[in-house]
């Protein structure tokens, strides 16, 4: 029961010059399931990425970070290989060997160097990766490489996702049309620091690698690092931004340029749409919640309050029940860890309804107004701290019977 989200139409997803995608059913976990995606890049593409902060990083994360850090103009990244059904995480040295072997085999087929390939995996953790199945699937994926395979690619990387997540956008940079297409997967275990989430955004714009790295960090911090389903962070997460440089404009090399800002804004909008789609498809989600904390002293304290609300199982079950249980939201702000917070100074709104101020229920508040907002599928919780000028927004979903059901039976 995803919240207000429909799959994109295949024809809405625009090809990117310099990129082709191939898919195979490799039988990694289930047979007859498209579970292997290869993204092939023309030479000279710039690639930047951010990865999970979890101390247990999966083998492909270790290898992808290593290959990315060694890529340069002579050995640019030529391919990404992504499998579902097995995360190759918690698999020790053997897992790293499997990730390297996957890259080696794809590099051999493409005639490039092993470090020009980035590996990604998602699915069950602590199980050995069935390397031979992936190796057997690679030629099949390469045999059906197409530039308009984006919809099938979005489907191929799904795990517990119900809806494929993909979006395209075009902007004009100095008269040149630039296209951006992105896909993502993820539904449970979503948290800041990129939890069990894979995102790939590709543009035909031309951007220098250092600026692309800044852009991917900025876009992640405004999107994938601002969503949370259950507070868990994962072992495999990655957000990759690729610029093929084929749009035909001069390479962007200056951060203070209008072109950089326009492109960064457009890339971030694509990333926000993908990230919100992940929350809308959150495991067992029935409501989409925007938590906005305003007028804090620092971004950090705003984020503390927002995440305390967004992570509270009590708040999330109250949203599920359409119960305007203000006390649970206020209690969450109270234990968020903002040491000198004067709770009598803040205001709490549900959408446009002022529900609490002066340390208690607002004089003007009627339960029926709160009730009306809580019954909506989309709810904005707004906290005004009244102690500074910073603000932040976090997106989350409610916590339903189905969350427990999905996560109690995930491996069976």
Residues forming contacts to its own copies in the complex (CB under 8 A) are 53-57, 87, 89-95, 124-126, 188-189, 191, 193, 195, 230-235, 311-314, 317-318, 320-321, 323, 325-328, 330-336, 338, 341, 343-344, 356, 358-361, 399-401, 403-405, 407-412
Give whichever of 154 and 356 is closer to its own copies, judged by the CB atom.
Answer: 356
N- to C-terminal Cα separation, the chain: 21
Residues found in the chain: 412
Rounded to a whole number of angstroms, the minimum distance from the CB of residue 118 to its own copies is 21
Give whichever of 78 and 328 is closer to its own copies, judged by the CB atom.
Answer: 328
Rounded to a whole number of angstroms, the minimum distance from the CB of residue 203 to its own copies is 31
Give whichever of 122 and 179 is closer to its own copies, judged by the CB atom.
Answer: 122
Pairing of strands 288-296, 79-84: unpaired
Report the distance separating Cα 402 and Cα 229, nearest Å: 13
Rounded to a whole number of angstroms, the minimum distance from the CB of residue 29 to its own copies is 15
Report the distance separating Cα 172 and Cα 134, nearest Å: 40
Give whichever of 11 and 340 is closer to its own copies, judged by the CB atom.
Answer: 340
Give whichever of 149 and 312 is closer to its own copies, judged by the CB atom.
Answer: 312
Give whichever of 94 and 253 is closer to its own copies, judged by the CB atom.
Answer: 94
Show Cβ contacts of residue 144 under 8 Å, excluding neighbours closer than 6 positions. Answer: 22, 23, 24
- What's phi and psi for 149, nearest 5 deg? -95, 20
Residue 381 contacts residue 350 (beta carbons within 8 Å)? yes
Rounded to a whole number of angstroms, the minimum distance from the CB of residue 293 to its own copies is 14
Report the distance separating Cα 288 and Cα 293, nearest Å: 16
Give whichever of 261 and 335 is closer to its own copies, judged by the CB atom.
Answer: 335
Give whichever of 377 and 404 is closer to its own copies, judged by the CB atom.
Answer: 404
In Å, how far are 32, 102, 201 from 86, measured between CA atoms?
Answer: 16, 13, 23
Show Cβ contacts of residue 339 under 8 Å, excluding neighbours closer than 6 positions. Answer: none
In Å, how far are 89, 222, 265 from 122, measured between CA atoms?
Answer: 9, 23, 28
Rounded to a whole number of angstroms, the minimum distance from the CB of residue 193 to its own copies is 7
Region of 267 (left: φ > 0; alpha: ψ -120 to 50; beta: rest) is alpha
91 is catalytic: no
Which residues face 20 on adjacent strands? 40
18-28 exposure pattern, b = at least 16 Cβ within 10 A, e = fewer = bbbbbbbbbbb
Q: Name the active-site residue from 52, 91, 196, 396.
A: 196
Rounded to a whole number of angstroms, the minimum distance from the CB of residue 196 to its own copies is 9
Report the distance separating Cα 219 and Cα 48, nearest Å: 12
Rounded to a whole number of angstroms, the minimum distance from the CB of residue 216 to its own copies is 21
Pairing of strands 347-350, 79-84: unpaired
Q: How many Cα atoms are found within 13 Å in the side-chain-facing hemisphere of 154? A: 25
Pairing of strands 353-357, 360-361: antiparallel
| Residues labelled as active-site residues | 196
């Amino acid at each position: 029961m995803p919240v207000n989200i429909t799959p994109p139409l295949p024809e809405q997803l625009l090809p990117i010059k310099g990129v082709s995608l191939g898919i195979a059913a490799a039988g990694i976990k289930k047979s007859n399931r498209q579970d292997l995606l290869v993204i092939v890049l023309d030479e000279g593409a710039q690639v930047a990425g951010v990865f999970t902060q979890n101390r247990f990083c999966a083998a492909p994360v270790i290898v992808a970070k290593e290959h990315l850090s060694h890529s340069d103009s002579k050995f640019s990244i030529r391919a990404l290989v992504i499998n579902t059904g097995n995360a190759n995480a918690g698999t020790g040295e053997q897992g790293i060997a499997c990730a390297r072997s996957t890259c080696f085999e794809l590099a051999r087929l493409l005639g490039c160097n092993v470090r020009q390939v980035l590996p990604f995996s998602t699915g069950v953790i602590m199980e050995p990766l069935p390397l031979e199945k992936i190796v057997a699937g690679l030629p099949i994926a390469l045999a059906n490489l197409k530039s308009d395979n984006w919809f099938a690619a979005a489907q191929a990387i799904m795990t517990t996702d119900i809806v494929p997540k993909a979006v395209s956008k075009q902007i004009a940079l100095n008269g040149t049309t630039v296209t951006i297409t992105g896909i993502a997967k993820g539904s449970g275990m979503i948290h800041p620091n990129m939890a069990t989430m894979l995102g790939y955004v590709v543009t035909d714009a031309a951007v220098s690698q250092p600026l692309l790295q800044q852009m991917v960090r900025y876009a992640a911090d405004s999107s994938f690092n601002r969503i949370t389903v259950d507070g868990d962070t994962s072992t495999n997460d990655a957000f990759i931004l690729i610029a093929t440089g084929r749009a035909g404009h001069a390479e962007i090399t200056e951060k203070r340029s209008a072109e950089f800002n326009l492109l960064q804004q457009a890339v971030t909008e694509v990333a926000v749409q993908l990230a919100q789609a992940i929350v809308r498809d959150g495991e067992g989600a029935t409501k989409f919640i925007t938590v906005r904390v305003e007028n804090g002293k620092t971004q950090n304290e705003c984020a503390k309050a927002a995440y305390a609300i967004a992570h509270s199982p009590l708040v999330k079950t109250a949203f599920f029940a359409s119960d305007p249980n203000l006390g649970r939201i206020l209690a969450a702000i109270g234990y968020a860890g903002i040491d000198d917070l004067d709770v009598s100074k803040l205001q709490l709104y549900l959408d446009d309804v002022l529900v609490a101020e002066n340390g208690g229920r607002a004089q003007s508040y009627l339960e029926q107004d709160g009730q009306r907002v809580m019954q909506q599928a989309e709810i904005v919780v707004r906290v005004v701290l009244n102690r500074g000028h910073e603000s932040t927004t976090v997106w989350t979903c409610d916590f339903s019977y189905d969350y427990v059901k999905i996560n109690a039976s995930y491996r069976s």
